[in-house]
């Protein structure tokens, strides 16, 4: 009896260093079953807008996609804008003169339009309208009115013609943008165009409300491609901004290098004044000072070319990425509106059920509740269809954006590489032009001044390695930015047969 009364197992062990008692029930089903039920309840509470039968899903039915995006399944509507000239005006507001060709689109009174003139500010207003009225489209960012090249120069004019024609091609390639009614007014109006539908306001949140909503957790997105696309675009946007800042620092370094090389040139010129005995050395210092001055100018040109070729292109891509990111944000805001609309519909349905359950029905309150419920249901359905249309179009344009960025980077890198090669070819050509001035200092090729008295007399091989046909040591032709040699007939390209003896003589002779 005493042992049963004082059984130690009936008392709690308060020893903090004791081992934990074994679990009495190790059946996982009895423990996990309530947890799974709780998770289902949480999922149904956290995502009420995406558990119904009308859930936004991937487009498995092509007929549904045709109904949502009929513009993508027809090719009879076309607009072609050809930039003819950029007329001089204020530096920040040039005039674009272009021609337009229209095919299949209604409301246009002609099929051909010539000498359409629009200022930069007018095109900017038109571009802002396209962004506001077409939420489902990644509208290309309008190019800048100036470049990193000197204002009014040939390089600036060539680059502006190229980027503006690219922008025209991109907006006219989109089947939704060309069917916008404002396109008719943009092309047909006289000089002095203004947006006709300017009263149309942005249908999504903006300003402080937009900044506040962007801080919230993103709504559930069933489109995995678009869900991953926005973080990638934001990362690319930040990377382009950082790259542009680094390029700007590099260009400033090139300008500083140009200034230092110019100072070196002036000091070399002063050295020639101290050569009173040796006329060959005096001539060499003078010629070397001129070549160094030319190299300083080349470094300055290179600093401008880097920002003009890569810097401006990277800035344009950064602006495009920002607009794409904001378009994807607009889609998230509309998806958040769907959640609010579903909650509103549920509330109206509960109110209608309460009125229906009353013993005495008021006809006015019944009609009001029914109208409120129908309005909330139509709003919810309209938002869902809008999100489906936006998602379908963005899936199309996602691939187009990736292809555009890929081709843009390849084009920029090719142009920059050719420019860099041409820059070094010019430096080499200038250095080769003073080889004779260095070698005629004395009979031994100028090297006796370096205490190399045991050299025999050298035969001067002063053939230029750089020419319009290419390098003298290579059979490959010279590809220049100024001449489009890629389009030349292969039969017209000269070939250079370099035998072993000639190659050895070219590579074995010193340049100085």
Pairing of strands 93-103, 112-119: antiparallel
In a shared domain, residues 302 and 399: yes
Distance between CA atoms of residues 39 and 506, nearest Å: 79
Q: Which residues pair with 87 in a beta bridge?
A: 95
**In-domain check, residue 242:** no
Rounded Cα distance between 257 and 249, Å, is 12
Q: Between vectors from CA 173 to CA 168 and to CA 174, what angle results, nearest 5°? A: 110
- d(CA 346, CA 376) in angstroms, rounded, equals 9
Q: Are residues 355 and 470 in the same domain?
A: no
The two three-digit tokens of residue 310, written as one number: 């890569």
CATH number at residue 397: 1.20.1270
Indicate if 373 and 481 belong to the same structural domain.
no
Q: Are residues 332 and 381 in the same domain?
A: yes
Residue corresponding to tokens 């004082």: 6
Residue 16 lies in a domain: no
Q: Are 261 and 358 members of one domain? A: yes
Neighbours of 178 (CB within 10 A): 17
Whole-angstrom distance, CA of residue 263 vs CA of residue 53: 77
Residue scoring higher pLDDT (321 or 219): 321
Q: Please tell me the distance from the alpha carbon of residue 301 to that of residue 306, in angstroms, as a whole number.
A: 9
The answer as to whether 8 is a domain residue is no
Mean pLDDT of 394-418: 93
79/481: higher pLDDT: 79
CA distance 500 to 473: 11
pTM above 0.75, yes or no: no
Q: Compute the distance between CA of residue 65 and CA of residue 72 in angstroms, rounded to an integer.
A: 9
Q: Is residue 147 part of a domain?
A: yes
Residue 206 has which token pair?
């903006």
d(CA 86, CA 99): 12
In angstroms, the CA 282 to CA 445 distance is: 16
Alpha carbon distance 220, 50 (integer Å): 8
My answer on whether 366 and 415 are in the same domain is yes
Q: Kindly report which listed range (128-137, 202-211, 377-386) carries the lowest average pLDDT score.
A: 202-211
What separation in angstroms does the CA of 4 have from each of 11, 14, 238, 456? 12, 21, 75, 120
Measured CA to CA, the distance from residue 299 to residue 71 in angstroms comes to 51
Residue ranges making up the domain that contains 482 = 461-512
pLDDT in the model for residue 451: 59
Q: Could you say which of 172, 201, 230 is where a domain stops?
A: 201
Residue that the structure tokens 């040591």 belong to? 473
Residue 140 falls inside a structural domain? yes
DSSP 8-state code for residue 197: T
What's 21's DSSP letter?
A: P
Q: CB atoms < 10 A from the CB of 212, how many? A: 10
- For 389, left (φ over 0), alpha (ψ -120 to 50), or beta? alpha
Are residues 298 and 345 part of one domain?
yes
How is residue 309 annotated by DSSP? I
What gap in Å lies between CA 124 and CA 143, rounded to an integer? 9
According to DSSP, residue 216 is labeled S
- Residue 300 and residue 403 in one domain: yes
Per-residue pLDDT at 323: 93
Of 12-16, 211-215, 272-276, minimum mean pLDDT range: 12-16
Domain match, 348 and 465 both: no
**What pLDDT is attached to residue 489?**
47
What pLDDT is stored for residue 361 in this prediction? 75
Angle made by CA atoms 137, 141, 144, in degrees to the nearest 5: 170
Check if the beta carbon of residue 435 is closer than 8 Å to that of residue 512: yes
Residue 423 sits in the same domain as residue 480: no
- Look at residue 102 and tell me whether its pLDDT is greater than 60: yes
- Whether the pLDDT of residue 149 is over 70: the answer is yes
* Span 28-76, pLDDT tens digits: 333 333 343 333 333 333 333 333 333 334 555 677 788 888 888 888 8
Confidence (pLDDT) at 130: 92
Domains in the chain, number: 3
Q: Is residue 409 part of a domain?
A: yes
For residue 468, tell me if it sits in a domain: yes
- Looking at the structure, tell me whether residues 193 and 291 fall in a common domain: no
Q: Are 221 and 336 in contact (CB under 8 A)?
A: no
- The confidence band for 279, taking pLDDT boundaries of 50, 70 and 90, is confident
Provide DSSP, 393-432: HHHHHHHHHHHHHHHHHHHHHHHHHHHHHHHHHHHHHHHH
Of 76, 79, 212, 186, nearest to 133 by C-alpha is: 186
245 belongs to a structural domain: no
Boundary of a domain, candidates 170, 201, 232: 201
Kindly indicate the confidence band of residue 352, based on its pLDDT and cuts at 50, 70 and 90: confident
How much is the pLDDT for 48?
35
Do 261 and 373 share a domain, yes or no? yes
DSSP string for 438-478: HHTTSTTTTGGGGT-TTPPPPPP----SEETTEETT-SSBP
- Give the model's pLDDT for residue 452: 59
Residues 152-207: tens digit of each pLDDT? 888 999 999 999 999 999 999 999 999 989 999 999 988 888 888 766 666 676 77
pLDDT attached to residue 448: 59
According to the model, what pLDDT value does residue 70 have? 84
Q: How far apart are CA 176 and CA 390, in angstroms?
A: 11
């Amino acid at each position: 009896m005493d042992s049963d009364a004082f059984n130690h197992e009936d008392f709690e062990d308060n020893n903090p260093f004791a081992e934990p008692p074994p679990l009495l029930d190790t059946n996982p089903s009895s423990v996990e079953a309530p947890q799974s039920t709780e998770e289902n309840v949480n999922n149904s509470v956290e995502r009420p807008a995406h558990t119904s039968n009308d859930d936004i899903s991937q487009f498995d039915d092509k007929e549904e996609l045709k109904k949502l995006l009929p513009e993508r399944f027809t090719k009879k509507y076309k607009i072609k804008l050809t930039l003819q000239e950029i007329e001089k005006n204020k530096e920040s507001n040039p005039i674009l003169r272009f021609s337009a060709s229209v095919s299949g689109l209604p409301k246009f009174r002609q099929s051909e339009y010539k000498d359409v003139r629009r200022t930069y500010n007018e095109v900017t207003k038109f571009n802002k309208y396209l962004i506001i009225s077409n939420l489902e489209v990644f509208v290309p960012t309008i190019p800048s009115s100036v470049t990193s090249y000197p204002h009014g120069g040939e390089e600036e004019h060539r680059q502006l013609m190229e980027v503006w024609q690219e922008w025209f091609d991109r907006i006219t390639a989109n089947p939704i943008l060309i069917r916008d009614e404002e396109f008719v007014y943009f092309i047909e109006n006289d000089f002095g165009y203004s947006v006709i539908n300017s009263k149309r306001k942005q249908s999504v949140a903006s300003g402080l409300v937009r900044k506040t909503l962007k801080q919230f957790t993103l709504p559930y997105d069933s489109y995995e491609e678009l869900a991953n696309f926005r973080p990638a675009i934001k990362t690319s946007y930040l990377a382009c901004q950082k790259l542009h800042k680094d390029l700007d620092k590099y260009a400033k370094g090139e300008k500083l290098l140009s200034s230092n090389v110019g100072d070196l040139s002036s000091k070399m010129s002063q050295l020639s004044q101290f050569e009173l005995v040796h006329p060959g050395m005096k001539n060499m210092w003078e010629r070397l000072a001129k070549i160094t001055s030319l190299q300083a100018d080349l470094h300055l040109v290179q600093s401008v070319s880097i920002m003009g070729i890569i810097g401006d292109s990277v800035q344009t891509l950064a602006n495009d990425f920002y607009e794409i990111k904001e378009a994807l944000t607009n889609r998230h805001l509309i998806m958040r509106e769907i959640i609010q609309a579903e909650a509103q519909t549920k509330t109206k349905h509960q109110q209608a059920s309460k009125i229906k359950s009353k013993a005495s029905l008021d006809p006015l309150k019944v009609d009001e509740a029914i109208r409120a419920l129908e309005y909330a249901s139509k709003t919810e359905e309209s938002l869902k269809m809008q999100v489906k249309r936006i998602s379908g179009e963005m899936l199309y344009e996602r691939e187009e954006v990736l292809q555009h960025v890929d081709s843009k980077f390849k084009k920029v890198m090719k142009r920059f590489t050719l420019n860099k090669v041409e820059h070094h070819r010019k430096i080499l050509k200038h250095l080769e032009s003073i080889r004779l001035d260095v070698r005629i200092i004395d009979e031994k090729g100028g090297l006796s001044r370096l205490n190399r008295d045991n050299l025999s007399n050298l035969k001067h091989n002063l053939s230029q390695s750089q020419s319009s046909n290419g390098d003298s040591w290579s059979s490959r032709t010279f590809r220049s930015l100024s001449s489009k040699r890629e389009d030349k007939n292969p039969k017209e390209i000269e070939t250079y047969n370099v035998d072993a003896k000639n190659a050895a003589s070219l590579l074995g002779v010193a340049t100085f």
